[in-house]
Chains A and B, each alone.
Chain A
Amino acid sequence: MIAATRAEPDGRWVLPKENAGAWVERLLEGAQVIAPVAGPEGEEVYDVVRTPHQVLWDFVNPLDPPKRFVLPQTEPLARIEKTDGRFRVEPIHDEAPRVFLNLRNCDLQGFHFLRRMHAADLPDPSFLRRFDSLTLVSLACTRPCPWGFCICCEGGPFLREGYDLQLTDLGGVFLAEVGSAKGRKALEAGQGLFRPATEAEQVRRLELEQQALRSFGPETCHFGSAMRRISTRRVADELWEAMGPWCLECGGCNLACPTCYCFSVKDRSEEPWRGNAGGEGSAEQVWTRCRIWDSCQYQAFTLEASGHNPREAKRERIKRRFYHKVSAQYYRKDQALGCVGCGRCILVCMGTTDMPSVVAAIRKGRWEGGRL
């Protein structure tokens, strides 16, 4: 049996479903809670939860990835004030305690990808502060989504580590595995609501994992051979060229992808009177310096002031995206593939230059126009 996991020292616990609401209530006392909820059209979205009954416990993974809660689409970095020709630059920090509830494991791996890259080389304290104030509670996928291929890239459906708390839906109860001190704390917040798991429940958890592994849809992604070719420059230019017309340059794949993080930095002008009402010393002008998501698929991404653009052709930009995600060079640098197998780009891309299609084309050496 593959029972031994890192969660062992803390044992395993179960939360009867009728107690779930009460637990969320307790979590809400100490932190902001983010969870999948029903959006305005009934579709699943990740959002800040106000009341426990909003939390979805059985849901399709939202198309909009949760990354904006660790890397906001427009992130205020500093407030810049101008007064009498002098400037004041005030960094904006966000370290509010947050609990992320029912995160899917692919997205959890995405989070760790983002954390690793922000911690590597020159660490980014502003990202790390926000990230490390988060408690990550994942909900393992007992029924894999039809377009997911996390199984091809260690993205799920169940994880052995990386979560603070991993929940598994056993039917009447959620089994909880503790992965860290933060997870233990979240569990303790539910004191009296959880009880130790029985032997039978632990066995059930393993059965469900095996069952999930068997019930993946047809989507597969053979990264190995694609990586070999991309890393050794053995993908013909004609192949990238053939994909070019299929990419609409919308950047949707980047926005939807849990591991994409390219950004630009811009100053946003604020109305000076807002929060500065009159009085001495009030600023004449205020800006917010923002970090904003960008996309390597946009032509202007590499456009230089001289007018020269090294990735003017779409071919070059598509190639760039897959080099960053699939090459051995980046695998070594990031210690992981740049894909967690969530399948979002399959849903988002109108032109079918999504991860599995492109990886298949590289493997076969032929672009067939993707899926239709």
Chain B
Amino acid sequence: MKDLLIPSVATILATRDETPDTRTFALRFRDDEEHRSFSFRPGQFVELSVFGAGEAPFCLASSPTRPEHIEVTVRRCGVVTNALHALGPGDEVGLRGPCGNGFDVEAAQGWDLLFVAGGIGLPPLRGLIWNVLDQRSRFGHITILYGARTPADLVYKDELRVWSAMDGVEVKVTVDRGAPGWEGNVGMVPVLFDQVELRPERTVAYVCGPPVMIKFVVQDLLMRKFAPERVISTLERMMQCGVGKCNHCCVGHRYLCRDGPVFSFAEIREMWE
């Protein structure tokens, strides 16, 4: 039996700067066999170690349909994330996972999909977006709404362009505060709701972002008659083990690292502690 808390060594293949403090890392397990056998769902996460600095959870930002490497997008904010940002191609880190439940892609088959992301909330959805785009015919219309504080805080700028050029995919972007050269929307994410046609009765909505943004967006969606079972979000708590043992991530008797981090709003409503 494999040890629960022991990471395997992985190599950083490439990095890409997304914003001044956010970077995407492409990773591959050093052992080919291990890399090939690593299977995951979008919405799951990994525990990533910078040896000596420690371990932290990051969601898998790539799609299982593109298995050559695994991607995580990391904002620099503390010990582990700073140490990770100091590493580059060829450097080694530790990986453990996948952890958590992930999105139920099968259940969304045949539905229209609405993605609503705020700031660093796009990475967990990006894996799912590529996943559905890679099996395009199985899903209905796709709408992607994305907001960040300023134009400089938008991640995956190239991919936003690629997605918006695709058939049957609608992409809208907004920023809280504009900047010189910015000609797009200004305002919080919900302003985008009035720019697209929403079809609550045939849509599954995925909402990811900072807690306040999730709160407002979900309220808005429910008011617009989206069913709570079909408003899906990810929750965050401080995590250590990622495998349901350490108790850091509990909400009541639910373990976000095992029962989550993906929940429908119908489930979130029932959670208390």
Chain A residues near B (Cβ < 8 Å): 77-78, 80, 82, 85-89, 91, 117-118, 121-126, 233, 261-267, 269, 285, 287, 289, 291, 294, 296, 301-306, 308, 310, 316, 319-320, 323-324, 327, 329-330, 333
Contacts and interface: CB of A to CB of B under 8 A. Distances in A.
Contacts of A121: 244, 258
B178 interface: no
Nearest to A122: B243
B5 A291 contact: yes
A354 to B, nearest CB: 20
Interface in B1-30: 1-9
22 contacts: A78-B6, A87-B94, A89-B94, A91-B3, A91-B6, A117-B245, A121-B244, A122-B258, A126-B5, A262-B246, A264-B240, A267-B52, A267-B53, A285-B52, A287-B52, A289-B6, A301-B238, A305-B238, A306-B77, A320-B250, A320-B273, A330-B253
A122 B244 contact: yes
A117 B241 CA distance: 14
B54 A265 contact: yes
Interface in B227-261: 236-238, 240-241, 243-248, 250-253, 258
B6 A265 contact: no
B238 A304 contact: yes
Contacts of B252: 323, 329
B92 A265 contact: no
Contacts of A89: 6-9, 94
B91 interface: yes
Given A264-B246, A269-B52, A125 B240 contact: no
B211 interface: yes
A319 B92 CA distance: 42
B248 A302 contact: yes
- Give the interface size bracket for B toward A: 35 or more
B248 A267 contact: no
B84 to A, nearest CB: 13
B272 to A, nearest CB: 7
Interface string B89-108: 01110100000000000000
Contacts of B3: 77-78, 91, 125-126
A235 to B, nearest CB: 12
Interface in B48-90: 49, 51-56, 77-78, 81, 90
Most buried by A among B91, B237, B272: B237
A265 B240 contact: yes
B210 interface: yes
Nearest to B53: A267
A95 B52 CA distance: 26
A266 B94 CA distance: 13
A218 to B, nearest CB: 32
A291 B244 CA distance: 14
B96 to A, nearest CB: 10
B238 A126 contact: no
B241 A263 contact: yes
A114 to B, nearest CB: 11
Contacts of B77: 305-306
A180 to B, nearest CB: 22
A265 to B, nearest CB: 5
Contacts of B6: 77-78, 89, 91, 289
Contacts of A77: 3, 5-6
A291 B253 CA distance: 22
A260 to B, nearest CB: 9
A263 B245 CA distance: 8
Contact of B241 (A80, A265, A308): A265
B257 to A, nearest CB: 10
B237 A87 contact: no
Contacts of A85: 90-92
A71 B7 CA distance: 20
A82 B248 contact: no
Given A77-B3, A266-B54, A267-B54, 18 more contacts: A88-B9, A123-B1, A124-B5, A125-B3, A125-B4, A261-B245, A261-B247, A263-B240, A263-B246, A265-B241, A285-B52, A287-B51, A294-B246, A294-B248, A303-B238, A304-B238, A305-B78, A329-B253
B74 to A, nearest CB: 11
A118 B245 CA distance: 7
